[in-house]
Structure 1
Amino acid sequence: MGWGDKKPTQFSITKQPFIEWSLNNGESWTELQTIDFVTQAWFDMNDQLYAATEKELWTGITSKSKGTKIL
């Protein structure tokens, strides 16, 4: 799993946050829906993805859904 800014530069005022994951050891990647920059991401024991931003906690993030805000 990876997350960050698609085009980070020192002088850019536009931010393009992303989060993506790979199910085949990095051979291919699937971009997931995101609203803001992810600061932490993890899976629980049931392989449910959680992602935290500076102000929110999300779960159920997929390539077709930004998930559900739980905090």
Structure 2
Amino acid sequence: MVISVLFTLVPAIMDMIVNMPAVVSKSSFGLAIAHVRNMLPLANEGLSWFIPMIVGLITGTIVFKIQEKAK
């Protein structure tokens, strides 16, 4: 679960920056973040976090299975 949350944290921070007041969101930094965020699948629907969450879930499950097998 921790890995899934960490993968989801990145697009969440991007969404936060894009939705900040204009002094941040319209700056060159904010526009660059918006451009990167818009490249993520489902970003137009407000679900830019979904694909990273699925990748994190799969990665976390694999790590968990490997750790369990090592015990």
Higher helix proportion: 2
Structure number with larger C-alpha Rg: 2
Q: Give the TM-score normalised by the residue count of structure 2.
A: 0.23
Q: Give the TM-score normalised by the residue count of structure 1.
A: 0.23
Choose between structure 1 and 2 for higher RCO, CA contacts under 8 A separated by at least 6 residues: 2
